[in-house]
């Protein structure tokens, strides 16, 4: 878990806080926000998202908007990808890296219009990312604004999501592609509706004004209940993204990690003609190859590897790596983890061990993700 110097002493509440309380939520402090961690059983919430749908409050996420004719060029310079090539109404997963190639944050970049981008940052990093983007945009004809306080974010995730949303929106849900976004209405309220998420399921993220969040939540919950939708907290969001092999900043990604260690080299466009921040370091890292790579581990035992636990090579007994995230997997019904290990020990089928509070437990390297939805 990362902390920021900008984290306020008193946690911020989302506009849905009273709704969560009334639903019996347990709360956790997360990146300066008091967020619902679960409403009842986090395992039941996890299974609902895999089989029907879950409704999340993600208002803690940070939003940064870039407006102006230079927005695309500014983002091409600031990020490792090429946002200028994103079509209007589409989105792309990207990263902002430091000059040395270290990851400052991972992001979703939406192109709302020719000259208007929405960059969604992690709550823990938005206070760093927003000024960094502004600094990197200097010299381009663009304004960069941290609009986090102007947006509430709700997510409907799970196989029933499209069916739940379709009757509530004026947008044509079936034609809204994965990683696309459009402006429309939900329950008559102006929103941005995106087919994105962080669970490994089909699903939608609904950006609305904070004052409208209660009405949007109520409409989604009411429309979703007949389909089996349940409110879902951050605890199941973490196990869902882990099963889907998705990285979490502060765990798999940090300032000492480049996209290449994280097996996310595909997001880096090295040959951008006008250059970008981190280009030289990332080109060098790609050529040399990473010293450690992210792998999936499945344990045969009952106890779960957890973030920070050492990974041991059974052949030598030496510590060779570290777990970044780990949890019992509700879908696989076995402990799963992600870990950084040397490339020589990263092949699927490799038998490793994890030191679980002093006890060595066998764990096998597997292909990521642990879980893929059937389409």
Partner 1 sequence: MSNPTDLQYTAEHEWIAADGDIAKVGVTAYAADALGDVVYVDLPAVGSTVTAGESCGELESTKSVSDLYSPVTGEVVEVNEAVDADPSLVNSDPFGEGWLFVVKVSATGEVMDAAAYDALVAS
Could you tell me which residues are annotated as the binding site for substrate? 205
Nearer to partner 1, 259 or 305 (CB): 305
Burial of 12 (0-12, 13-18, 19+ CB in 10 A): middle
The conformation of residue 112, written as its DSSP 8-state character, comes to E
**Rounded distance between C-alpha atoms, residue 92 and residue 105, angstroms:** 14
Per-residue x/- marks for partner 1, 159-178, CB under 8 A?
--------------------
The conformation of residue 102, written as its DSSP 8-state character, comes to -
**How far is the CA of 30 from the CAs of 12, 41, 95, in angstroms?**
10, 19, 21
Nearer to partner 1, 173 or 338 (CB): 338
List binders of partner 1 among 83-102 (CB under 8 A).
none
Least distance from C-beta 306 to partner 1, angstroms? 7
From 37-45, 131-139, 145-153, 202-210, give the range in contact with partner 1 by CB under 8 A.
Answer: 37-45
Per-residue x/- marks for partner 1, 351-370, CB under 8 A?
------x-------------
List binders of partner 1 among 181-240 (CB under 8 A).
235, 238-239
Per-residue x/- marks for partner 1, 286-325, CB under 8 A?
----------------xxx-x-------------------
Task: Single out the residue of 327, 354, 368, 370 in contact with partner 1 (rule: CB under 8 A).
Answer: 327
**Rounded distance between C-alpha atoms, residue 189 and residue 281, angstroms:** 46
Least distance from C-beta 41 to partner 1, angstroms? 5
Nearer to partner 1, 357 or 375 (CB): 357
Q: Is the dihedral of CA 164, 170, 175, 178 positive or negative?
A: negative
- Strand, helix or coil for residue 35: strand
Number of residues that bind partner 1 (CB under 8 A): 17
Residue 375 sits in the site that holds partner 1 (CB under 8 A) = no
**Rounded distance between C-alpha atoms, residue 260 and residue 287, angstroms:** 10
Element at 119 (helix H, strand E): strand 116-121
From 84-92, 172-180, 327-335, 364-372, give the range in contact with partner 1 by CB under 8 A.
Answer: 327-335
CB 278, CB 101: distance < 8 Å: yes
Q: In what order do the strands lie in the sheet with 62-67?
A: 91-97, 103-113, 116-121, 62-67, 143-146
Least distance from C-beta 322 to partner 1, angstroms? 17
Nearer to partner 1, 131 or 308 (CB): 308
How many residues are present in the chain?
Answer: 375
From 33-41, 78-86, 246-254, 283-291, give the range in contact with partner 1 by CB under 8 A.
Answer: 33-41
CB 212, CB 220: distance < 8 Å: no
Residues lying near partner 1 in the complex (CB under 8 A):
26, 37-38, 41-43, 235, 238-239, 302-304, 306, 327-328, 330, 357
């Amino acid at each position: 878990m990362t902390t920021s110097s900008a984290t306020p002493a008193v946690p911020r509440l989302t506009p849905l806080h009273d709704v969560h309380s009334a639903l019996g939520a347990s709360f956790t402090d997360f990146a300066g926000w008091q967020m619902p961690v679960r409403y009842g059983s986090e395992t039941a919430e996890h299974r609902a998202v895999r089989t029907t749908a879950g409704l999340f409050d993600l208002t803690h996420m940070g939003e940064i908007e870039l407006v102006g004719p230079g927005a695309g060029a500014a983002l091409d310079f600031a990020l490792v990808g090429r946002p200028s090539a994103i079509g209007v109404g589409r989105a792309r997963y990207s990263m902002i890296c430091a000059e040395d190639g270290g990851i400052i944050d991972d992001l979703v970049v939406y192109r709302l219009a020719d000259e208007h981008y929405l960059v969604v940052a992690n709550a823990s990093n938005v206070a760093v990312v927003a000024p960094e983007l502004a600094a990197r945009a200097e010299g381009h004809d663009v304004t960069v604004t941290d609009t986090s306080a102007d947006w509430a974010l709700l997510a409907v995730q799970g196989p029933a999501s499209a069916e739940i949303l379709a009757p509530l929106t004026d947008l044509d849900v079936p034609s809204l592609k994965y990683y696309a976004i459009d402006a429309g209405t939900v329950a008559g309220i102006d929103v941005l509706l995106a087919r994105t998420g962080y669970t490994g399921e089909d699903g939608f993220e609904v950006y609305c004004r904070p004052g409208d969040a209660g009405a949007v939540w109520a409409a989604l919950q009411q429309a979703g209940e007949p389909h089996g939708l349940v409110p879902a907290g951050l605890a199941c969001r973490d196990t869902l993204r882990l099963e889907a092999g998705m990285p979490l900043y502060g765990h798999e990604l940090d300032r000492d990690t480049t996209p290449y260690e994280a097996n996310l080299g595909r997001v880096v466009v090295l040959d951008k003609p006008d250059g970008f921040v981190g280009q030289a370091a990332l080109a060098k890292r790609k050529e040399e190859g990473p010293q450690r790579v992210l792998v999936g581990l499945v344990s045969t035992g009952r106890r779960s590897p957890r973030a920070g636990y050492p990974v041991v090579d059974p052949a030598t007994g030496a510590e060779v790596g570290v777990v970044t995230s780990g949890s019992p997997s509700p879908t696989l019904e076995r402990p799963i983890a992600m870990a950084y290990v040397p490339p020589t020990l990263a092949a699927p089928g490799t038998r490793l061990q994890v030191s679980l509070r002093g006890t060595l437990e066998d764990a096998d390297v597997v292909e990521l993700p642990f879980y893929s939805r059937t389409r």
